[in-house]
Structure 1
Amino acid sequence: MWYTARFLFLLFFMVSQSWKMTLFTCMGLPIIWVIPKLIGQFHQTIAIKVQESLAKANQVATETFSNMKTVRSFANEDGETERYRRQLEDTYSLNKKEAVGYAASTWSNSITTLALKVFILYYGGTLVTRGTVSSGDLVSFILYELQFASAVEGVMRAYPDVRKAIGGSQKIFEYLDRKPQTPPDGTLAPETLQGHIQFKNVRFSYPVTAEENKIVLKDVSLELKPGQTTALVGLNRSGKTTCVKLLERFYQPQAGEIQLDGKPLQSYKDQYLHDKIAVVSQDCVLFGRSVRENIKYGYEDASDEEMHRAAKLASAHDFIMGLPSQYDTDAGEKGGQVAGGQKQRISIARALIRRPKILILDNATSDLDVENEHQVYQALLNQTNRCTVLLISNQMNVVEKANHIVVLSEGVIQEEGSHGELLEKGGLYADMVRKYKMGFQRKEEKRNDAQS
Structure 2
Amino acid sequence: MDQPISPAERAATQLPPGGLSGPEFETPSAAGAYSGGEGHSGGEAHSGGVQPDEARPARTLGPLKMIWAEMYKYPGHTAMALLALLVTASATLAIPAGFKLIIDNGFSAGGDPSDIGRWFRYLLLIVVVLAIGTALRFYFVSWLGERVVADIRLKVQDNLLRLAPSFYEENSPKEISSRMTADTALIEQVVGTTVSVALRNVLMGLGGTAYLFWLAPQLTIWLVVAIPLIILPIAYFGRRVRNISRTSQDRVADVGAMVTETLGAMKIVQAFNQEARENTRFSSAVEAIFDTAKRRIMLRAAMTSIIIMFIFGSITLILWRGALGVSTGEISGGTIAAFVFTAALVAGAFGALTEVYGDLLRGAGAASRLNELLNEKPAIAPPARPELLPQPPRGSLSFRNVTFRYPTRLEVAALKDFSLEVEPGETVAIVGPSGAGKSTIFQLAERFYDPQAGSIRIDGVPLTSADPAEIRRRMALVPQDGILFSANARDNLRYGEWDATDEDIWEAARAANAETFLRDLPDGLDTYLGEGGARLSGGQQQRIAIARALLRDAPILLLDEATSALDAQSEQLVQQALDRLMENRTTLVIAHRLATVRKADRIVVLEGGQIVEQGTHAQLSDAGGLYARLASLQFANHEPG
Tell me the TM-score normalised to structure 2 length. 0.54
Deviations 1:186-210 (A, max 9, x none): 3757564434344553423364xxx
- Matched residues in 2 for 1:80 and 1:354: separation? 53
Q: Residue 302 of structure 1 corresponds to which residue in structure 2?
A: 500
Higher strand share: 1
Q: What amino acid sits opposite 2:308 in the alignment?
A: S
Q: Residue 402 of structure 2 corresponds to which residue in structure 1?
A: 201
- Matched residues in 2 for 1:176 and 1:107: separation? 42
- Matched residues in 2 for 1:198 and 1:391: separation? 15
> How do residues 428-447 of structure 1 correspond to structure 2 at under 5 angstroms?
428-440=626-638
Shift of 1:429: 2.5
Is 1:106 the counterpart of 2:268 in the alignment? no
Please give the secondary structure, in 2, of the residue aligned with 1:113: helix
Q: Residue 136 of structure 1 corresponds to which residue in structure 2?
A: 330
> How do residues 221-232 of structure 1 correspond to structure 2 at under 5 angstroms?
221-223=418-420, 224-232=422-430
Shift of 1:364: 0.9
Structure 1 pair 360–123 and aligned structure 2 pair: CA distance change class (3 A): same
2:376 to 180, 183, 200: 180
- Matched residues in 1 for 2:224 and 2:634: separation? 86
Tell me how many residue pairs correspond in the alignment. 427
Deviations 1:75-125 (A, max 9, x none): 479699958887776666656655554444433332333454466678889
Q: What amino acid sits opposite 2:404 in the alignment?
A: R
- Matched residues in 1 for 2:627 and 2:314: separation? 86
- Matched residues in 2 for 1:438 and 1:283: separation? 23
Q: Residue 339 of structure 1 corresponds to which residue in structure 2?
A: 537
Please give the secondary structure, in 2, of the residue aligned with 1:353: helix
Q: Residue 552 of structure 2 corresponds to which residue in structure 1?
A: 354
Shift of 1:388: 2.7
Q: Residue 49 of structure 2 corresponds to which residue in structure 1?
A: none
Shift of 1:341: 1.9
1:41 to 239, 255, 261: 239
Structure 1 pair 115–317 and aligned structure 2 pair: CA distance change class (3 A): closer
- Matched residues in 2 for 1:143 and 1:408: separation? 87
- Matched residues in 2 for 1:308 and 1:370: separation? 25
Shift of 1:158: 7.0
1:418 to 615, 629, 633: 615
Unaligned segments of structure 2, at least 5 residues? 1-198
Please give the secondary structure, in 2, of the residue aligned with 1:152: helix
Q: Residue 7 of structure 2 corresponds to which residue in structure 1?
A: none
> How do residues 22-421 of structure 1 correspond to structure 2 at under 5 angstroms?
22-42=220-240, 44-46=242-244, 48-49=246-247, 71-72=266-267, 75=270, 98-117=296-315, 136-137=330-331, 140=335, 143-144=338-339, 146-156=341-351, 159-160=354-355, 163=358, 174-175=369-370, 177-178=372-373, 179-183=375-379, 185-186=381-382, 188=386, 190=389, 192-199=392-399, 201-205=402-406, 207=408, 215=412, 217-219=414-416, 221-223=418-420, 224-248=422-446, 251-253=448-450, 255-256=452-453, 258-261=456-459, 262-264=461-463, 267-270=466-469, 272-287=470-485, 291-317=489-515, 323=520, 328=525, 330=527, 332-333=529-530, 334-370=532-568, 373=571, 376-377=574-575, 380-381=578-579, 384=582, 386-410=584-608, 412-419=609-616, 420=618
Deviations 1:335-391 (A, max 9, x none): 444432232122212211221222221121124455764665466456546433221
Please give the secondary structure, in 2, of the residue aligned with 1:232: strand
Q: Is the CA contact (8 Å cut-off) linking 1:44 and 1:168 kept in structure 2?
A: no
Please give the secondary structure, in 1, of the residue aligned with 2:404: strand
Unaligned segments of structure 1, at least 5 residues? 129-133, 445-452
Structure 1 pair 203–382 and aligned structure 2 pair: CA distance change class (3 A): same
Please give the secondary structure, in 2, of the residue aligned with 1:391: strand
Q: Is the CA contact (8 Å cut-off) linking 1:229 and 1:390 kept in structure 2?
A: yes
Query: Mean Cα displacement is larger for which, 3-12 or 287-296?
Result: 287-296
- Matched residues in 1 for 2:494 and 2:362: separation? 44
- Matched residues in 1 for 2:582 and 2:605: separation? 21
- Matched residues in 2 for 1:259 and 1:38: separation? 65
Q: Percent of aligned positions with the same letter in both sequences?
A: 24
Q: Is the CA contact (8 Å cut-off) linking 1:40 and 1:159 kept in structure 2?
A: no
- Matched residues in 1 for 2:395 and 2:286: separation? 53
Q: Is the CA contact (8 Å cut-off) linking 1:44 and 1:164 kept in structure 2?
A: no
Please give the secondary structure, in 2, of the residue aligned with 1:315: coil
- Matched residues in 1 for 2:499 and 2:396: separation? 28
Q: Is the CA contact (8 Å cut-off) linking 1:7 and 1:148 kept in structure 2?
A: no
- Matched residues in 2 for 1:63 and 1:439: separation? 37
Two-structure CA RMSD over aligned residues (Å): 4.7
Structure 1 pair 9–341 and aligned structure 2 pair: CA distance change class (3 A): closer
Please give the secondary structure, in 2, of the residue aligned with 1:360: strand
- Matched residues in 2 for 1:255 and 1:352: separation? 33
Q: What amino acid sits opposite 2:481 in the alignment?
A: D
Structure 1 pair 8–283 and aligned structure 2 pair: CA distance change class (3 A): same
Shift of 1:168: 9.3
Please give the secondary structure, in 2, of the residue aligned with 1:405: strand
Shift of 1:433: 1.8
- Matched residues in 2 for 1:87 and 1:254: separation? 49
